[in-house]
Structure 1
Amino acid sequence: MVQVKEVMTSPLVTVGPWASVREAANLMAQHRVGSLPVIEDGTLLGVVTSRDLRGAHPNRVVLDVLQNPPLHISPKASLLEAHALMEERGVERLLVVEEGRLLGILTKRALAFALGQGFDPLTGLPRADFLRGHLERLLEKGVDPTVVFVDLDDFGLLNKQLGHTAGDQALKEVAGMLSAFARRHRGEVYRYAGDEFALVFPRHRTQVLPHLSELLRLSILAEGRKVGFSLGIAGGRRRRKRPGNPRATADDLIRLASLASTLAKGRPEKIALGEEVILASGRVPKATPSHHPER
């Protein structure tokens, strides 16, 4: 999982609060940057941007045009966390700060370029690598996340009979539905592979399962044909931190939820649990020694 520190701009060009607007503008032009951290005696006061300077008299001091205190983020945060923070607060840059020390700056443009490598171009959703990274971080914090895999029913047949254009449109509509559902219930959605999507909820499954009937009632029409979903559930069972390696456990949860969604296809209720997969096989499929059967 790519972290903020790998994308941020560093070292930084800074300016003092008593420098003139003209001096700040010249610094931006000289170094081809759109913002400058404002520092006095080692203390970060804020960030002045080219937009702040626009229209200000060149003889005014930078302190006069400083806006609200800037948002900051840890260098170890993921790019998805940075993206969510920027979208939520409507900002175009984040200061990268660790233990009170300014390390760099992350701009929306640099973030968008980096995220382009990890997002599905068809649906606009983050891909499997981001899913794994999100699960690992939750597990490291002691959260046992509920993972819900959503598998489209008869998608291969739809592609064959109606063509890939119809199939692509169906996937985009499903992505929109799942994104809306995830927002309503404080979760995240990912495009895993093919016709599989994954939802992650950072809480016990008893708080998630009651809402899945709403998800199962959703469907789309692809050239007049109704397309529904099958759901596989894993995780969300423990109140305490899971033992073992978070990366291995994240892989287990993904695998079990995916297999459970396949199992659900043969059921009228269209839902199956990861522990049913374990009971059927007697073990976590392709498990490593660190894996635990309580999923």
Structure 2
Amino acid sequence: MKVSDMMVTVLHTITSDKSVAHAAERMSENRVNSLLVMDHGEVIGMLTPRDICASHPNRIVADAMGPGPICISSDQTVWDAGRMMEEHGVEQALIMAEDELAGWITRENIMIKLAEFRDPLTGLFRAPYIQTIGERLLYEKKQFHLLFIDLNNFGQINKRYGHPFGDDVIREYSALLASMLDERHDYVSRYAGDEFVVISMAADDQIQSYINQMETPIGIRHMQVSAAVGHVNGYLDPNFFTYSFRELIEKASLLSTSTKQRLTGTVL
């Protein structure tokens, strides 16, 4: 999902020479909690209720306003937008479309929308998230590594110890998986059941380190849990951009199956 799908297109503005009291009236009349401060068609700041409370009513907006919000392209995904706003510590962002101001969005609304895409068991994003990231990178002709991660013998864990215990294993493995990745260049999702997908722009040696960690048994409760990893390297495949993201997932999944056979000696 892109920010353009959920942005607010009605913009409430005020000029910097108006009084703080007038700005407070504008907010109340329009039932908004922020005003864009614009002079001569340019955004120069943002005014919030906090700014108003901290200023005398007779002061002008220029003295009370905070810095202008960050700008986000209308084709940014809500996931990237949320991450960007968190990094800058801002609550609102302007949406630009072809260098034109198209609307605005709040961090709160983004967080509410993102919650719809989170897996309730693990807290990781679900498959639509990783699909959106992958399709966007393919569209932008940006290469990446795709890892398809399938836990080994998970069906036996469920059969032997029960599904609630299996859920505990999935939850704890998810936390370990997320902790080994770097948000600056890695994206992870719980794809389905005991399967996970990672998209990464890390260097080859880092990817190999990831795979080694994932395939090495780790202790979770009283179990030793490992995974079979299928790796599609978009930096080495000359035909990488001829594939759809679905086809790349299929390739990585089949490679994971081959790895599982090698690691466990199981014929699938």
Corresponding position of 2:178:
179
- Provide structure 2 residue ranges, at least 5 long, that are not aligned to the other structure: none
Corresponding position of 1:139:
138
Q: How big is the shift at 1:220? A: 3.8
Identity within the alignment, %: 33
Distance 1:83 1:153 in 2: 34
Q: Deviations over 1:30-51 (max 9, x none)?
A: 2222211111121111222222
Distance 2:14 2:219 in 1: 54
Three-state SS of the structure 2 residue aligned to 1:135 is helix
Three-state SS of the structure 2 residue aligned to 1:198 is strand
Three-state SS of the structure 1 residue aligned to 2:231 is strand
Q: Deviations over 1:143-196 (max 9, x none)?
A: 221101111112122122222222222222122112122217831111111111
Closer/same/farther in 2, CA of residues 184 and 12 from structure 1, 3 Å limit: closer
Q: How big is the shift at 1:203? A: 5.4
Q: Deviations over 1:86-116 (max 9, x none)?
A: 2222221111112332211111121122222
Q: How big is the shift at 1:233? A: 0.7
TM-score (norm 2): 0.89
Q: Deviations over 1:52-83 (max 9, x none)?
A: 22221111111112223321101111111111
- Runs of 4+ residues over 4 Å off in structure 1: 203-207, 239-243
Counterpart code for 1:268: L
Higher mean alpha-carbon deviation, 27-36 vs 148-157, is at 27-36
In the alignment, does 2:154 pair up with 1:159?
A: no
Closer/same/farther in 2, CA of residues 60 and 185 from structure 1, 3 Å limit: closer
Alignment of 1:1-295 (within 5 A): 2-183=1-182, 186-202=185-201, 205=204, 208-217=207-216, 219-222=218-221, 224-238=222-236, 242-244=240-242, 249-268=244-263
Distance 1:243 1:236 in 2: 8
Q: In the alignment, is the contact (CA less than 8 A) between 2:180 and 2:210 conserved in 1?
A: no
TM-score (norm 1): 0.82
Three-state SS of the structure 2 residue aligned to 1:76 is coil
Closer/same/farther in 2, CA of residues 241 and 89 from structure 1, 3 Å limit: farther
Closer/same/farther in 2, CA of residues 229 and 43 from structure 1, 3 Å limit: same
Closer/same/farther in 2, CA of residues 142 and 61 from structure 1, 3 Å limit: same
Distance 1:63 1:184 in 2: 37
Corresponding position of 1:284:
none
Q: How big is the shift at 1:205? A: 4.4
Closer/same/farther in 2, CA of residues 225 and 16 from structure 1, 3 Å limit: same
Aligned residues: 265
Closer/same/farther in 2, CA of residues 184 and 138 from structure 1, 3 Å limit: closer
Three-state SS of the structure 1 residue aligned to 2:103 is strand
Q: In the alignment, is the contact (CA less than 8 A) between 1:8 and 1:106 conserved in 2?
A: yes
Closer/same/farther in 2, CA of residues 24 and 238 from structure 1, 3 Å limit: farther
Q: In the alignment, is the contact (CA less than 8 A) between 1:143 and 1:203 conserved in 2?
A: no
